[in-house]
């Protein structure tokens, strides 16, 4: 019961974070969407920052589950492409929580949350292996530092190009994903 209630809370937080971001999301809103009183929320989570942290842990678990599901025999480059595709699909579906990279109180909470840090490290390690493997076999540019590539992949989860193209209304979600996937891996220059 308690676990189910907390899952419902995190689910609501996840969608609100995806829709309006951390600053615009209010705790009153969360409570209203869950259907309980605000004071009850604070019995489950000690602060707004902890709500966001819990949502990020949930998102990281989803990501890990997706990584696990990728077929072993897939090439490293294709694995990375699939991850980026999945990330952008999540974002377009309103399932990808987005946090401000500046808010200091939030950063402090995240750094203190073991589940978050562990999840982040595990995902990064897995992606790092694939990046290095892809570079070793020459499918990803070996001149780029692996860390820069990792950040570039992560950045697709908060790329404003997706929402701008979506607002334009000229392209389907699938087309948007294909476009940004192309600019990410193939670049803007003609090949």
- Pick what 49 binds: its own copies, DNA, none; C-beta below 5 to 8 Å, kind-dependent: DNA
Q: Name the one residue in this structure whose structure tokens are 């390690």.
A: 125
Among 103, 120, 122, 124, binds its own copies (CB under 8 A): 103
Q: Report the sign of the C-alpha dihedral through residues 170, 174, 178, 180, in that order.
A: positive
- Only one residue has tokens 């990803």, namely 140
44 binds DNA (CB under 7 A): yes
Residue 168 binding result from its own copies, DNA, none, given CB thresholds of 5 to 8 Å by partner type: its own copies
Cα-based angle 115, 117, 121 (whole degrees, multiple of 5): 115
What would the two tokens of residue 18 be?
């995806």
**Nearest distance in Å: CB 23, DNA:** 8
> Minimal CA–CA distance to 93: which of 173, 148, 164?
173
Tell me which residues touch its own copies (CB under 8 A). Answer: 20-21, 23-24, 77, 80, 100-103, 138-145, 147-149, 151-152, 155, 158-161, 163-165, 168, 170-171, 179-180, 182-191
Tell me which residues touch DNA (CB under 7 A): 2, 5, 25-28, 35-40, 42-44, 46-49
């Amino acid at each position: 019961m308690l676990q189910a209630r907390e899952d419902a809370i995190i689910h609501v937080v996840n969608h609100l974070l995806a829709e309006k971001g951390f600053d615009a999301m209010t705790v009153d809103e969360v409570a209203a969407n869950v259907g309980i009183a605000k004071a009850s929320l604070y019995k489950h989570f000690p602060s707004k920052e902890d709500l966001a942290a819990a949502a990020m842990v949930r998102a990281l678990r989803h990501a890990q589950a997706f990584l696990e599901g990728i077929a072993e025999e897939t090439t490293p480059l294709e694995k990375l492409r699939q991850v980026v595709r999945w990330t952008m699909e999540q974002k377009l579906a309103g399932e990808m929580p987005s946090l401000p990279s500046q808010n200091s109180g939030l950063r402090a909470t995240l750094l203190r949350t073991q589940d978050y840090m562990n999840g982040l490290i595990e995902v990064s390690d897995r992606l790092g292996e694939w990046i290095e493997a892809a570079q070793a076999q020459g499918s990803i540019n070996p001149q780029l530092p692996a860390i820069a590539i990792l950040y570039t992949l992560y950045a697709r989860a908060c790329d404003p190009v997706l929402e701008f193209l979506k607002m334009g209304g000229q392209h389907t979600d699938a087309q948007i994903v294909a476009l940004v996937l192309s600019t990410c891996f193939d670049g803007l220059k003609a090949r």
